[in-house]
Amino acid sequence: MIKLVKGFKDILPEEAGLWQHVEMLVRELLEDFGFAELRIPILEQTELFARSIGTSTDIVEKEMYTFIDRSGESLTLRPEATASVVRAYIEHRLYAKNPVRKLYTIGPMFRRERPQKGRYRQFYQINAEVFGLHDPRADAELILLLMTFMGRLELSGIVLHINSLGCPACRPRFKDALKSFLTGRSEQLCSDCLRRRDKNPLRIFDCKVPACKETMQDAPSILEHLCNTCQSHFEIVKTSLDRFQMPYQVNPRLVRGLDYYTRTTFEVLAETLGAQDAVAGGGRYDGLVKALGGPDQPGIGFAIGIDRLMALLAGRAQDFEKRPHIFIAAIGEQAQNIAFQWVQDLRRQRVRAEMDFENRSLKSQMRRADKLGVTYALIVGDRELDDGAAVLRNMTTKEQEKVSLQNVVTLVANRIRAEQSIH
Ligand code: ATP
Ligand code: MG
């Protein structure tokens, strides 16, 4: 038997209802905050990711699914969405009428990481990007949007970490301070971090090797190296969050895995997830649009990992499974014929109706109704046809009532609609 590729997974019908619910909630919320959907392709030119994410990041160094197309072009399955959204913003001149654009996209990402709990090679993200706003209140607003979403999902045990990564004016000074701190600490770093020390020392904060983590405990703090502009930007982000009573922790070691971030960065962590505890992350990337050939417009965004959200929501999937509302047990040819019509009519009224075409015994059809978990079964056989009334059975209370054949569709549809509006 041919099986799934390692690190990939199927989302089964039992889980799909919850996925749809989460996506519907986030779409609603994003659109209330002024975002419009942008659908981007899964393949891009490799160059796009190398230039935006940064050549000395883990993603670009070792995690991308890259291949040479038959035309000789190097293509890559997108490992994240921001690069593509920025490309589209530039390519379609989405800034032309008004540089302020709020865009969101939902879909799969691909990274060839070591598969483990909460870490897949194809995973799903909800991505939001805001272009054209320098104001720190835009950062706060985006964080509030993210946390409002978490709140609507009624997630507990999640914390918000924020930091500032400075800007091209102040970060080099911090890099130097970090480099001199790391000089003479070679034995306390893993081989990857030794390489990072020269090229990209900030990335060492992100290393998961215990020895490196330990070393970095005493490292200098970026927050003490911010220039005045970055400092006041960060202050306003914090006071804006305070104003809306949004709790957060300032974490000077939060650097994030992509090179393009400037100033505000943030991450949402869930302690119950274990080692892979980041549910969402994001930050400001003021130089990226320009670096990719666009106008000098700032950007800020976040990505939510849907797979990890689902792990937090485990157990709630069955509430969102779309079971049929009613099963029609029809015995005999004539009854089957009528039931076939009812099923189509009910579905047109948005009632999820099912029947069997096998014309089996009443007992076995009722067993099937039970298995489907329907709220109602409608029974119709020769006797009911003679009577002019079918039997509607409430599967929970076991109560039965007669329903005139003429009124079946209207009555059942009204009944189910009424129940849905109660729940
Ligand atoms: P991590 O530190 O867990 O590797 P990251 O910093 O690489 O996360 P981002 O690139 O910021 O993650 O992506 C945002 C979110 O996407 C993460 O917070 C996480 O929920 C999710 N995510 C990232 N990589 C994976 C993966 N391989 N499998 C499942 N979810 C992932
Ligand atoms: Mg990662």
The closest-lying atom of ligand 1 relative to the alpha carbon of residue 125 is 16
Token couple for 195: 């390489």
Ligand nearest to the CA of 109: 1
Single-letter code of the amino acid located at 177: A
The set of protein residues with a Cβ atom below 6 angstroms from ligand 1 is: 80, 111, 113, 118-120, 123, 125, 256-257, 276, 278-281, 303, 305, 307-308
User: Cα(125) to centroid of ligand 2, in Å?
Assistant: 13
pLDDT at 275: 87
Going by DSSP bridges, is the β-strand pair 353-355/326-330 parallel, antiparallel, or unpaired? parallel
Q: Which of 109, 113, 264, 272 to mutate to test the pocket of ligand 1 (most atoms within 8 A of CB)?
A: 109
Answer whether residue 154 is part of any domain: yes
* Confidence (pLDDT) at 256: 79
Question: Of the given ranges (57-61, 142-146, 410-414), which has the lowest mean pLDDT?
Answer: 57-61
In a domain, 178, yes or no: no
Domain containing 404 equals 323-422
Give rounded-to-5 percent helix, strand, coil for the chain. Answer: 45, 20, 35
Q: Are residues 288 and 155 in the same domain?
A: yes
- From 278, 293, 317, give the residue that closes a domain: 317
Q: Is 222 left (phi over 0), alpha (psi -120 to 50) or beta?
A: alpha
Residue length, the chain? 423
Tens digits of residue pLDDT in 159-204: 999 999 999 999 999 999 999 999 989 889 999 898 888 888 998 9
Please give the pLDDT value at position 421: 74
Taking the model in full, what pTM does it have?
0.93
* pLDDT tens digits for range 136-146: 999 999 999 99
Q: Is residue 104 within 8 Å of residue 149, measured between CB atoms?
A: no
Residue 203 phi, psi (nearest 5) = -65, -20
What is the count of structural domains for the chain? 2
Number of H helices, E strands in the chain: 15, 16
What DSSP character marks residue 12?
-
Ligand whose nearest atom lies closest to the CA of 111: 1
Domain end, chosen from 263, 290, 317, is at 317
The residue among 317, 340, 372 that closes a domain is 317
Residue-wise pLDDT tens digits, 362-385: 999 999 999 999 999 999 999 999
Maximum alpha-carbon separation in the chain: 95
Residues 232 and 262 in one domain: yes
User: Residue 356 to residues 13, 120, 152, 366: CA-CA distances in angstroms?
Assistant: 21, 39, 39, 11
**Residues 264 and 383 occupy one common structural domain:** no
Q: Are residues 370 and 277 in the same domain?
A: no
Answer yes or no: is 258 within a domain.
Answer: yes
Check pLDDT > 70 for residue 423.
Answer: no
Q: Give, using CA atoms, the residue closest to atom 7 of ligand 1.
A: 257
- List, in order, residues 6 or more apart from 122 with CB less than 8 Å away: 7, 8, 9, 108, 109, 110
